[in-house]
Structure 1
Protein backbone atom coordinates (compact mmCIF):
# COMPACT_ATOMS: atom_id res chain seq x y z
CA UNK A 1 0.00 0.00 0.00
CA UNK A 2 1.33 3.39 -0.98
CA UNK A 3 1.51 6.40 1.31
CA UNK A 4 -0.94 9.23 0.56
CA UNK A 5 0.55 11.92 -1.66
CA UNK A 6 -0.57 14.95 -3.59
CA UNK A 7 -4.28 14.98 -4.24
CA UNK A 8 -5.14 12.72 -1.30
CA UNK A 9 -3.53 15.04 1.22
CA UNK A 10 -5.04 18.10 -0.47
CA UNK A 11 -8.55 16.65 -0.55
CA UNK A 12 -8.38 15.51 3.07
CA UNK A 13 -7.15 18.86 4.37
CA UNK A 14 -9.64 20.82 2.25
CA UNK A 15 -12.48 18.60 3.43
CA UNK A 16 -11.48 18.99 7.09
CA UNK A 17 -11.20 22.76 6.65
CA UNK A 18 -14.65 23.03 5.05
CA UNK A 19 -16.13 20.90 7.85
CA UNK A 20 -14.62 23.23 10.44
CA UNK A 21 -15.93 26.28 8.59
CA UNK A 22 -19.38 24.69 8.42
CA UNK A 23 -19.39 24.02 12.15
CA UNK A 24 -18.33 27.61 12.81
CA UNK A 25 -21.12 28.81 10.52
CA UNK A 26 -23.73 26.76 12.38
CA UNK A 27 -22.46 28.03 15.74
CA UNK A 28 -22.48 31.65 14.59
CA UNK A 29 -25.78 31.34 12.73
CA UNK A 30 -27.74 30.44 15.85
CA UNK A 31 -28.53 26.73 15.98
CA UNK A 32 -28.31 26.93 19.76
CA UNK A 33 -30.89 29.71 20.22
CA UNK A 34 -34.03 28.77 22.18
CA UNK A 35 -36.53 30.19 19.67
CA UNK A 36 -38.73 27.70 17.79
CA UNK A 37 -37.30 26.55 14.47
CA UNK A 38 -38.96 27.52 11.22
CA UNK A 39 -38.98 25.46 8.03
CA UNK A 40 -36.05 27.53 6.75
CA UNK A 41 -34.02 26.72 9.88
CA UNK A 42 -34.64 23.02 9.41
CA UNK A 43 -33.62 23.27 5.75
CA UNK A 44 -30.35 25.03 6.67
CA UNK A 45 -29.46 22.38 9.26
CA UNK A 46 -30.35 19.51 6.91
CA UNK A 47 -28.24 20.98 4.10
CA UNK A 48 -25.33 21.51 6.49
CA UNK A 49 -25.52 17.96 7.86
CA UNK A 50 -25.68 16.52 4.35
CA UNK A 51 -22.61 18.60 3.59
CA UNK A 52 -20.81 17.13 6.61
CA UNK A 53 -21.67 13.63 5.40
CA UNK A 54 -20.29 14.35 1.92
CA UNK A 55 -17.14 15.98 3.30
CA UNK A 56 -16.55 13.09 5.68
CA UNK A 57 -17.07 10.65 2.83
CA UNK A 58 -14.41 12.53 0.87
CA UNK A 59 -11.78 11.61 3.43
CA UNK A 60 -12.98 8.02 3.61
CA UNK A 61 -13.03 7.60 -0.18
CA UNK A 62 -9.64 9.27 -0.71
CA UNK A 63 -7.85 7.22 1.95
CA UNK A 64 -9.40 3.82 1.21
CA UNK A 65 -6.54 1.39 0.55
CA UNK A 66 -6.29 0.17 -3.03
CA UNK A 67 -4.36 -2.74 -4.48
CA UNK A 68 -1.36 -2.11 -6.69
CA UNK A 69 -2.53 -1.38 -10.22
CA UNK A 70 -6.14 -0.70 -9.16
CA UNK A 71 -8.09 2.36 -10.24
CA UNK A 72 -7.37 5.46 -8.16
CA UNK A 73 -10.14 6.75 -5.90
CA UNK A 74 -9.35 10.43 -6.44
CA UNK A 75 -12.14 11.17 -8.95
CA UNK A 76 -14.97 9.92 -6.69
CA UNK A 77 -13.39 11.75 -3.74
CA UNK A 78 -13.34 14.97 -5.76
CA UNK A 79 -17.02 14.56 -6.65
CA UNK A 80 -17.86 13.97 -3.00
CA UNK A 81 -15.91 17.09 -2.00
CA UNK A 82 -17.66 19.14 -4.68
CA UNK A 83 -21.06 17.90 -3.47
CA UNK A 84 -20.18 18.81 0.13
CA UNK A 85 -18.98 22.23 -0.94
CA UNK A 86 -22.16 22.95 -2.92
CA UNK A 87 -24.38 21.75 -0.07
CA UNK A 88 -22.56 23.94 2.46
CA UNK A 89 -22.86 27.01 0.24
CA UNK A 90 -26.53 26.22 -0.33
CA UNK A 91 -27.05 26.13 3.46
CA UNK A 92 -25.29 29.47 3.84
CA UNK A 93 -27.30 31.08 1.04
CA UNK A 94 -30.60 29.80 2.47
CA UNK A 95 -29.61 31.13 5.91
CA UNK A 96 -28.72 34.56 4.54
CA UNK A 97 -31.63 34.94 2.09
CA UNK A 98 -34.79 36.29 3.63
Structure 2
Protein backbone atom coordinates (compact mmCIF):
# COMPACT_ATOMS: atom_id res chain seq x y z
CA UNK A 1 0.00 0.00 0.00
CA UNK A 2 1.32 3.42 -0.90
CA UNK A 3 2.05 5.87 1.88
CA UNK A 4 -0.19 8.93 2.07
CA UNK A 5 1.03 11.96 0.21
CA UNK A 6 3.27 14.03 2.47
CA UNK A 7 3.91 11.22 4.95
CA UNK A 8 7.69 11.38 4.53
CA UNK A 9 7.87 15.14 4.99
CA UNK A 10 5.45 14.99 7.90
CA UNK A 11 7.42 12.30 9.72
CA UNK A 12 10.71 14.11 9.18
CA UNK A 13 9.39 17.45 10.42
CA UNK A 14 7.61 15.86 13.39
CA UNK A 15 10.80 14.10 14.47
CA UNK A 16 12.79 17.33 14.10
CA UNK A 17 10.23 19.20 16.19
CA UNK A 18 10.31 16.63 18.98
CA UNK A 19 14.11 16.61 18.83
CA UNK A 20 14.01 20.38 19.41
CA UNK A 21 11.59 19.91 22.32
CA UNK A 22 13.99 17.39 23.85
CA UNK A 23 16.95 19.73 23.44
CA UNK A 24 15.00 22.58 25.05
CA UNK A 25 14.10 20.25 27.91
CA UNK A 26 17.74 19.30 28.50
CA UNK A 27 18.76 22.96 28.43
CA UNK A 28 16.03 23.96 30.87
CA UNK A 29 16.51 20.93 33.13
CA UNK A 30 20.11 21.81 33.78
CA UNK A 31 22.23 19.02 32.39
CA UNK A 32 25.34 21.04 33.15
CA UNK A 33 24.55 22.05 36.74
CA UNK A 34 27.26 21.59 39.30
CA UNK A 35 26.82 18.89 41.89
CA UNK A 36 26.52 15.17 42.08
CA UNK A 37 24.16 13.17 39.94
CA UNK A 38 21.55 10.92 41.46
CA UNK A 39 20.49 7.66 39.85
CA UNK A 40 17.24 9.33 38.75
CA UNK A 41 19.26 11.98 36.89
CA UNK A 42 21.23 9.32 35.04
CA UNK A 43 18.01 7.51 34.11
CA UNK A 44 16.48 10.73 32.79
CA UNK A 45 19.51 11.43 30.61
CA UNK A 46 19.61 7.86 29.30
CA UNK A 47 15.90 7.94 28.43
CA UNK A 48 16.36 11.27 26.67
CA UNK A 49 19.38 10.08 24.68
CA UNK A 50 17.61 6.89 23.58
CA UNK A 51 14.64 9.07 22.59
CA UNK A 52 17.00 11.26 20.56
CA UNK A 53 18.38 8.19 18.83
CA UNK A 54 14.87 7.03 17.92
CA UNK A 55 13.86 10.47 16.67
CA UNK A 56 17.08 10.90 14.74
CA UNK A 57 16.57 7.58 12.98
CA UNK A 58 13.12 8.53 11.64
CA UNK A 59 14.37 10.44 8.54
CA UNK A 60 16.91 7.69 7.85
CA UNK A 61 14.29 4.94 8.11
CA UNK A 62 11.63 6.67 6.04
CA UNK A 63 13.98 7.65 3.21
CA UNK A 64 15.76 4.30 2.93
CA UNK A 65 15.58 2.98 -0.65
CA UNK A 66 13.38 -0.09 -1.07
CA UNK A 67 13.69 -2.97 -3.53
CA UNK A 68 10.11 -2.94 -4.79
CA UNK A 69 7.57 -0.18 -5.21
CA UNK A 70 4.98 -0.14 -2.44
CA UNK A 71 7.35 -1.29 0.31
CA UNK A 72 7.71 2.05 2.03
CA UNK A 73 9.20 2.15 5.48
CA UNK A 74 6.56 4.57 6.78
CA UNK A 75 5.20 2.15 9.39
CA UNK A 76 8.66 1.53 10.86
CA UNK A 77 9.37 5.27 10.90
CA UNK A 78 6.07 5.89 12.69
CA UNK A 79 7.02 3.36 15.36
CA UNK A 80 10.43 5.02 15.81
CA UNK A 81 8.74 8.42 16.08
CA UNK A 82 6.28 7.11 18.65
CA UNK A 83 9.08 5.53 20.68
CA UNK A 84 11.10 8.75 20.63
CA UNK A 85 8.12 10.89 21.63
CA UNK A 86 7.20 8.57 24.50
CA UNK A 87 10.77 8.47 25.81
CA UNK A 88 11.23 12.24 25.65
CA UNK A 89 7.95 12.93 27.44
CA UNK A 90 8.66 10.18 29.96
CA UNK A 91 11.97 11.80 30.82
CA UNK A 92 10.23 15.19 31.18
CA UNK A 93 7.64 13.62 33.48
CA UNK A 94 10.32 11.91 35.54
CA UNK A 95 12.26 15.16 35.95
CA UNK A 96 9.14 16.90 37.21
CA UNK A 97 8.27 14.14 39.67
CA UNK A 98 11.77 13.67 41.12
Q: Could you say whether these structures have the same fold, taking a TM-score greater than 0.5 normalized by the shorter chain as the test?
A: yes
2-structure distance, mates of 1:68, 1:90: 37
Q: Which runs of 5+ in 2 are unaligned?
A: none
Supply the RMSD in Å over aligned alpha carbons.
Answer: 1.1
1:17-28 alignment, distance < 5 Å? 17-28=17-28
| Other-structure match for 2:92 | 92
| Alignment size in residue pairs | 94
TM-score by length of 2: 0.90
1-structure distance, mates of 2:55, 2:80: 7
Residue 67 of structure 1 deviates from its aligned partner by 3.7
TM-score by length of 1: 0.90
The answer on 1:32 being equivalent to 2:32 is yes
- Please list every run of at least 4 consecutive aligned residues from structure 1 whose deviation after the TM superposition is greater than 2 angstroms: none
